[in-house]
């Protein structure tokens, strides 16, 4: 009988790890559905960017209040998880406060520090909840945030409060038990609330809070893959594989570059090039669906925190246009999720008559973008909505010829006149005479 709690704990831990691994594996498969893109260069710069942006939270500080509050929760998440390690060891081996004998007198000081972080987290979460639900900051109430995204954000806040509540009360109840040898800063203030219970009830309540805390953490672990909070894991690879080029530099399409090079080289013989392989798949210009995007684009989509900083900085959105860079990322994630489910069900992708361009992201959204890179600069984890927008535009322009009339007229002028204006090359310099 003495081993039953350990057996139950090992079963719960194993089930949680298995389920989390399965869900993460599905997300990894979905990300790998994207086109190949080499981001293995400049390893030192990439590591530095990850340490600065993801670990150091450097871009969060662009909004100092939100940045400072987020840092408190972030630091608590990293540090308090050390105690979770102790709880897991205790659960597996049936020990109690495994690290206490190893750390001696420092143990009470360390747990007290954890409790201070727990209280700071609760206070911070209350402020976050107030900003989102009472003050109603505009970026949290855009159209794409209705329904599940808004509920998800609040659910995360409630879970964090519940976990901290269980942790503090677990310690507080233990201080009232016979033979208690530890006293911690915050829980010692709460302990009198539980002083009227019998020893048996104290033990039951303490174990209850212990189970609530650890099972809550395991449940939260498996909530992450369904939530925007998955960014706490993906922020690190996302910032490592981020685009390190200057933000104004756009990638050229290799096939188009080759054609232009042939046109510009008077000595080039277009017939000298090898004939195309009839069996080779025809390269699509740009992207129509999520699988046409690169794996980095899809990693970006799953990393999106839905914080809305990109949308709040977007000049198109600020002037009332339909474009929201956050929605671009959310739509991309929703579509690749749908494709992944399609493949899991059918063994391969069966055409469902839908695509990212048109069914999820409209032409109105695409062409509202000014390509200013404000969204890219604002993102605290280096997500690049503009890159997805430009690939969808590329497809719309070169595959469907569905660019806006003004743009088509400009491109026709460039083709015929060598300039965006409707004047022949003979007349282009006539303004000098005026």
Q: How far apart are CA 5 and CA 92, in angstroms?
A: 9
Q: Are residues 217 and 313 in the same domain?
A: no
Q: Are residues 259 and 218 in the same domain?
A: no
What's the CA dihedral at 197, 199, 204, 209 to 10 degrees? 70
The whole-number pLDDT of residue 419 equals 80
Q: Which pLDDT band, with edges at 50, 70 and 90, does 273 fall under?
A: low
Residue 55 lies in a domain: no
Three-class SS state of 294: strand
Q: Are residues 343 and 379 in the same domain?
A: yes
The whole-number pLDDT of residue 1 equals 65
Q: Are residues 220 and 292 in the same domain?
A: no
The whole-number pLDDT of residue 344 equals 94
Domain that holds residue 162: 4-31+63-240
Planar angle of CA 31, 35, 38, nearest 5 degrees: 95
Three-class SS state of 51: helix
What's the CA dihedral at 237, 238, 244, 245 to 10 degrees? 140
Structure tokens at 164: 């901290």
Q: What would the pLDDT profile of 281-324 be if each residue is shown by its tens digit?
A: 556 788 999 999 999 999 999 999 999 999 999 999 999 999 99
Query: 169 with 209: CB under 8 angstroms?
Result: yes
Phi, psi of 401 (to 5 degrees): 50, 40
Q: Are residues 368 and 402 in the same domain?
A: yes
Q: What would the pLDDT profile of 171-186 be if each residue is shown by its tens digit?
A: 999 999 988 888 999 9
Structure tokens at 270: 């277009």
Q: How far apart are CA 275 and CA 74, in angstroms?
A: 56
Residue 383 lies in a domain: yes
Tell me the helix, strand and coil percentages in the chain, rounded to 5: 70, 0, 30
- Of 3 and 256, the structure prediction assigns the larger pLDDT to 3
């Amino acid at each position: 009988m003495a081993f039953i709690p350990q057996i139950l704990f090992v079963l719960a831990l194993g089930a949680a790890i298995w389920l989390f691994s399965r869900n993460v594996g599905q997300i990894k498969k979905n990300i790998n559905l994207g086109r190949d893109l080499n981001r293995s260069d400049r390893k030192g710069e990439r590591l530095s960017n990850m340490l600065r942006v993801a670990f150091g939270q450097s871009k969060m500080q662009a909004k100092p209040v939100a940045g400072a509050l987020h840092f408190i929760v972030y630091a608590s998440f990293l540090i308090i998880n050390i105690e979770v390690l102790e709880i897991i060891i205790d659960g597996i081996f049936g020990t109690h406060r495994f690290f206490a004998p190893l750390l001696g007198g420092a143990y009470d000081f360390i747990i007290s520090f954890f409790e201070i972080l727990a209280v700071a987290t609760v206070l911070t979460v209350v402020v976050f909840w107030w900003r989102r639900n009472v003050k109603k900051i505009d970026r949290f109430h855009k159209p794409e945030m209705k329904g599940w995204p808004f509920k998800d954000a609040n659910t995360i806040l409630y879970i964090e409060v519940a976990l901290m509540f269980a942790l503090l009360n677990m310690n507080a109840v233990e201080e009232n038990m016979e033979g208690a040898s530890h006293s911690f800063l915050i829980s010692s203030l709460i302990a009198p609330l539980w002083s009227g219970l019998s020893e048996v009830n104290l033990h039951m309540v303490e174990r209850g809070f212990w189970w609530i805390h650890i099972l809550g953490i395991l449940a939260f672990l498996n909530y992450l893959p369904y939530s925007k909070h998955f960014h706490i894991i993906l922020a690190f690879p996302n910032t490592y594989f981020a685009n390190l080029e200057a933000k104004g530099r756009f990638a050229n399409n290799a096939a188009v570059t080759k054609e232009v090079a042939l046109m510009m080289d008077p000595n080039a013989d277009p017939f000298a090039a090898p004939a195309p392989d009839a069996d080779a798949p025809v390269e699509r210009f740009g992207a129509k669906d999520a699988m046409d995007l690169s794996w980095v684009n899809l990693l970006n989509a799953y990393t999106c925190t839905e914080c809305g900083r990109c949308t709040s900085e977007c000049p198109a959105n600020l002037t009332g246009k339909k474009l929201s860079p956050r929605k671009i990322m959310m739509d991309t994630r929703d579509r690749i999720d749908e494709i992944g489910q399609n493949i899991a069900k059918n063994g391969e992708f069966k055409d469902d008559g839908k695509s990212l361009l048109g069914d999820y992201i409209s032409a109105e959204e695409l062409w509202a973008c000014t390509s200013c890179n404000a969204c890219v600069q604002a993102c605290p984890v280096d997500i690049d909505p503009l890159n997805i927008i430009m690939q969808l535009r590329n497809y719309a322009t070169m595959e469907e010829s569905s660019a806006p009339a003004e743009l088509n007229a400009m491109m026709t002028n460039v083709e015929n006149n060598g300039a965006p204006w409707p004047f022949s090359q003979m007349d282009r310099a006539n303004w000098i005479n005026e």
